[in-house]
């Protein structure tokens, strides 16, 4: 009877160990199974004591139904630290990529040209043409006067003067027709077609007409089909004369 009881206890122990370790990847530190110890004395059976099995190790650890995976885990603090490092790196790259601010350059001023006369241009083409053609272009707002002729041309001894404000026209008469013999510009409301007028400088004259004949008084003379003379007051034009070339 005692042998049978021990055999039954051994079978129970093997069955219990098999049930505990049959799951894969499980670690159990220890399994305590109460094994009956039978003592037969005077017809009484007493069961005392415990038997302890050896430690069984599996691949993964699961204790008392609580499992911990073998993979690594990342805490929230680690994630925050990585986000901070990424943001800082992005900011450094942005600062490096931004071009340096270009210094502001002072605006370049255009070269200043000598101002041209704003008066009405008077063409020398009217020299030796009829005064009527001149008056049709410049109007009849003049004052006429007759003086002894100083123009060696025409059949009369008188010279006819037509005074516009700022300009004087001297004419000789031939066959009863008056012809323009000289044009004198004295006011700033008239100028040459090239833009030289009263108040222009010597350099303005030479820029428009080139180098002329500079007389002892400082006047500048240009000779051609007609004479063009700039009367100078120092370095400034004070009068412009168109005259017949004799």
Q: Which domains are delineated in the chain?
A: 2-67 (no CATH), 120-244 (2.60.460.10)
- Stretch among 48-62, 109-123, 231-245 having the lowest mean pLDDT: 48-62
Distance between CA atoms of residues 31 and 9, nearest Å: 16
The pLDDT of 67-77, averaged and rounded, is 43
Instruction: Report the chain's mean pLDDT, rounded to a whole number.
Output: 72
pLDDT band at residue 11 using 50, 70 and 90 as cut-offs:
low
Write out pLDDT tens, residues 183-229. 999 999 999 999 999 999 999 999 999 999 999 899 999 999 999 99
80-103 burial, b at 16+ Cβ within 10 Å, e below that, comes to eeeeeeeeeeeeeeeeeeeeeeee
Query: Other C-beta atoms within 10 Å of 230: how many?
Result: 26
Q: Which one has a higher pLDDT value, 27 or 222?
A: 222
E strands, 149-219, are 158-164, 167-174, 177-185, 190-191, 213-214
Residue 137, C-beta contacts closer than 8 angstroms, at least 6 positions apart: 126
How far apart, in Å, are the Cα atoms of 44 and each of 5, 39, 41, 89? Answer: 14, 8, 5, 83
pLDDT exceeds 70 at position 160: yes
CB 33 within 8 Å of CB 21:
no
pLDDT band at residue 29 using 50, 70 and 90 as cut-offs:
very low
- Stretch among 2-6, 39-43, 234-238 having the lowest mean pLDDT: 39-43
pLDDT band at residue 119 using 50, 70 and 90 as cut-offs:
confident
CB 237 within 8 Å of CB 187:
no
């Amino acid at each position: 009877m005692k042998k049978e009881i021990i055999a039954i206890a051994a079978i129970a122990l093997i069955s219990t160990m098999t049930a505990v370790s049959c799951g894969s990847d499980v670690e159990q530190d220890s399994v305590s199974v109460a094994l009956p110890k039978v003592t037969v004395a005077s017809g009484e059976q007493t069961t005392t004591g415990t038997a302890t099995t050896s430690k069984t190790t599996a691949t993964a650890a699961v204790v008392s139904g609580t499992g911990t995976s073998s993979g690594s885990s990342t805490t929230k603090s680690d994630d925050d630290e990585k986000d901070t490092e990424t943001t800082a790196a992005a900011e450094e790259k942005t600062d490096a990529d931004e071009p340096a601010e270009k210094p502001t350059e002072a605006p370049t001023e255009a070269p200043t040209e000598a101002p041209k006369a704003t008066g009405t241009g008077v063409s020398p083409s009217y020299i030796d043409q009829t005064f009527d053609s001149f008056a049709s272009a410049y109007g009849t707002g003049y004052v006429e006067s007759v003086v002894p002729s100083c123009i060696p041309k025409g059949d009369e001894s008188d010279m006819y003067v037509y005074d516009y404000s700022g300009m004087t026209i001297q004419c000789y008469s031939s066959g009863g027709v008056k012809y323009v013999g000289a044009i004198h510009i004295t006011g700033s409301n008239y100028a040459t077609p090239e833009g030289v007028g009263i108040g222009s400088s010597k350099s303005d004259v030479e820029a428009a007409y080139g180098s002329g004949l500079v007389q002892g008084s400082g006047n500048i003379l240009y000779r051609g089909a007609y004479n063009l003379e700039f009367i100078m007051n120092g370095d400034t034009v004070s009068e412009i004369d168109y005259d017949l070339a004799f």
